């Protein structure tokens, strides 16, 4: 049996993209405008306070207009009382899916600039996001970074209503020192969180993340800003300002941060020039130029020739990297061996030319090849009945990894539904054998795969009743006769057992 999808009037629902503790998100088509949307639906209508916060989130985001802020299309309520938000569908995944990746500096700064410009609008409205983290930074198809999830956004002047009770909000690994210590917050806490993200993009790691929550908090409060390697030293001062422990020592707001990013960009452009421009005075008429001037002009000419030679050499390097990358891709060497695979070589070409179309297309093809490979591995694990375990080599693992790269992949979505159905079948077979513990275990495993599966949720709720019904005699036993009762003959057994056995076989084997 296939799980029925949620029904949302005016929307054609295609599948679920994800689920959190309080809400789930579906991919759908808004029928009136024929556009793909993401619909965030509350799991329950019982918590009125949370429902009001959910509606407030929608109103907050709908009031913000910026290319780097998610767009809200609709806020409404389902027939069962649950509220939902319909928002733009952002197909490029989130920054958390790029965990461990070292970004080329200009790309990292471009993302920071886009997020900072969006946060400037948020802060101008008197709000603070309070949960800037990689999972809340999405990417459109054109690569634009987008801020999402304003569920804990709060007016700055009202922030004390949580902090005065010692309630910390946000994600500890990206929280500012004042946020981790439950102190009043303002726009500068978002700047700190964005600084942690910049550090993670430049280095590939978040050094503040500890083995426990208390350790993470202490790291934010006490740990010095890490020193970047020599080739990234131009960005050290930027991190120092964004990650200052004292908010007063950080950038005052995102507008100042954006101005500093402009200055940094101008410095980078200056550093790429062949030689500094010379301020030459206007020569007097009929006066010959001095020898030193001829020498300088000659050096500039030689520098120009050398610069042209360097450019040609760089292009040769890029072409060579692209050729090797295409060869590795054709050989199926997507990520291995280290520093000699398609993914690595395409990225090396992008370090030399960040906008190289062939390298960008190559990375896209590498990803599609990885998706194809993982789908094949998922199918193999299905055949081997490795549905949920081992955790890093099961059908569920491979399908989920595909969805992390491509959230609307229909094969992966259908694969998870198929796994959930397998666990439903396993549970029913266990009930038939009166193995009630195994039946409940299969239900729980199915819910690990699809937490919102309606049939599995119903089976979990009905488990105790089914066990009692199976253990309760159907009729009162007759008084025992003095004469021993003869055992049923071999001809009698098929009449009482085989029809049921045949029924189960027809359901589960055909």
Length of the chain, in residues: 510
124 tagged catalytic = no
Find all residues with CB under 8 Å of 302, minimum gap 6, and list them. Answer: none
Query: What residues does 26 pair with on adjacent strands?
Result: 16, 39
| Structural contact between residues 116 and 87, judged by C-beta atoms closer than 8 angstroms | no
Find all residues with CB under 8 Å of 107, minimum gap 6, and list them. Answer: 201, 354
Q: Which residue has the tokens 């599609």?
A: 368
Query: What residues does 197 pair with on adjacent strands?
Result: none
**Distance of CA 117 to CAs 122, 224, 261, Å?**
9, 27, 11
Q: What is the Cα–Cα distance from 48 to 355, expressed in whole angstroms?
A: 49
Structure tokens at 40: 């965030």
CB atoms inside a 10 Å sphere around CB 246: 9
Instruction: Output the 3-class SS for 354-398.
Output: CCCHHHHHHHHHHHHHHHHHHHHHHHHHHHCCCCCCCCCCCHHHH
* Catalytic residue selected from 74, 76, 94, 131: 131
Q: What is the Cα–Cα distance from 414 to 418, expressed in whole angstroms?
A: 6
Residues labelled as active-site residues: 131
């Amino acid at each position: 049996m296939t799980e029925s999808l949620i029904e949302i009037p005016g929307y054609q629902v295609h599948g679920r993209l994800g689920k959190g503790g309080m809400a789930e998100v579906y991919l759908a088509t808004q029928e009136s405008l024929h556009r793909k949307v993401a619909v965030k639906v509350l799991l329950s209508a019982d918590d009125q306070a949370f429902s009001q916060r959910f509606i407030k989130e929608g109103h907050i985001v709908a009031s913000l207009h910026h290319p780097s802020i998610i767009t809200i299309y609709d806020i409404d309520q389902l027939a069962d009382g649950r509220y939902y938000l319909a928002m733009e569908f952002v197909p490029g995944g989130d920054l958390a899916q790029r965990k461990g990746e070292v970004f080329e500096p200009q790309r990292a700064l471009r993302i920071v600039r886009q997020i900072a410009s969006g946060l400037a609008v948020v802060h101008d409205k008197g709000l603070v996001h309070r949960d800037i983290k990689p999972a809340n930074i999405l990417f459109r198809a054109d690569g634009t970074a987008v801020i999402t999830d304003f569920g804990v956004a709060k007016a700055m002047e009202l922030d004390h209503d949580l902090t005065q009770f010692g309630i910390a909000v946000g994600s500890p690994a990206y929280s500012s020192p004042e946020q981790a210590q439950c102190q009043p917050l303002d726009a500068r806490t978002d700047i700190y969180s964005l600084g942690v993200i910049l550090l993670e993009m430049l280095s590939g790691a978040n050094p503040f993340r500890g083995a426990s929550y208390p350790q993470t908090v202490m790291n934010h409060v006490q740990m010095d800003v890490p020193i970047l390697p020599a080739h990234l030293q131009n960005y050290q001062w930027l991190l120092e300002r964004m990650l200052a422990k004292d908010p007063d020592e950080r950038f005052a707001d995102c507008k100042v941060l954006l101005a500093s990013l402009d200055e940094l960009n101008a410095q980078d452009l200056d550093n790429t020039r062949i030689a500094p421009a010379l301020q030459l005075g206007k020569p007097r008429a009929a006066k010959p130029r001095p020898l030193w001037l001829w020498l300088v002009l000659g050096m500039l000419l030689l520098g120009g020739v050398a610069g042209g030679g360097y450019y040609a050499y760089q292009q040769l390097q890029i072409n060579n990297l692209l050729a090797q990358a295409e060869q590795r891709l054709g050989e199926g060497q997507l990520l291995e061996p280290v520093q000699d695979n398609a993914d690595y070589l395409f990225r090396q070409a992008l370090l030399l030319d960040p906008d190289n179309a062939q390298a960008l297309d190559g990375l896209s093809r590498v990803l599609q090849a990885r998706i194809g490979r993982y789908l094949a591995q998922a199918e193999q694990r299905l055949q081997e009945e490795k549905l949920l375990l081992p955790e890093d080599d099961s059908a569920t693992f491979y399908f989920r990894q595909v969805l992390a790269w491509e959230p609307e992949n229909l094969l992966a979505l259908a694969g998870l539904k198929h796994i959930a159905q397998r666990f439903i079948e396993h549970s029913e077979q266990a009930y038939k054998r009166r193995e009630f513990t195994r039946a409940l275990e299969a239900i729980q495993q199915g819910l690990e795969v699809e937490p919102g599966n309606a049939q599995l949720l119903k089976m979990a709720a009905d488990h105790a009743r089914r066990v009692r019904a199976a253990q309760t005699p159907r009729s009162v036993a007759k008084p025992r006769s003095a004469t021993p009762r003869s055992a049923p003959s071999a001809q009698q057994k098929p009449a009482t057992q085989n029809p049921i056995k045949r029924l189960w076989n027809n359901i589960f084997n055909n």
